[in-house]
Amino acid sequence: MADTTYSKTEIVGTSEKGVDDAIRGAISRASATLKDIDWFEVTEIRGHVEGGEVGHVQVTLKVGFALTDTK
C-alpha cells in the first residue's frame, strides 16, 4: 500500500431498522458511485422520534477511498 493517496467524503445513511442497517445501506449506495472505498468512520448518530418511539436513525459517515490513476 505504498504511495497511495486517499480522499474522503461525508455521507448520511438512514434506516427504520437501526444503526447497522443505516451504515450498510449508506456504504452499499456509495459503492455504486465511488470506487475503491477502503474504510469508513461513524462521526454522528441521531434519530427521529415519532409517537414516542424511534421512527428512524441517521448515521453520518466519513468514507475513505483510494485515488486511482486516470491513465
pLDDT-derived band at 5, boundaries 50, 70, 90:
confident
Coil/strand/helix, residue 21? helix
Q: Which tens digits make up the pLDDT trace of 11-68?
A: 999 999 999 999 999 999 999 999 889 999 999 999 999 999 999 999 999 999 988 8
Task: Report, in this order, helix, strand and coil percent for the chain, each rounded to 5.
Answer: 20, 55, 30
Instruction: Decide if domain 6-66 falls under CATH 3.10.20.740.
Output: no
Q: For residues 61 and 28, is the Cβ–Cβ distance under 8 A? A: no
Residue 14 is predicted with a pLDDT of: 97
User: What residue segments make up the domains of the chain, in order of their start?
Assistant: 6-66
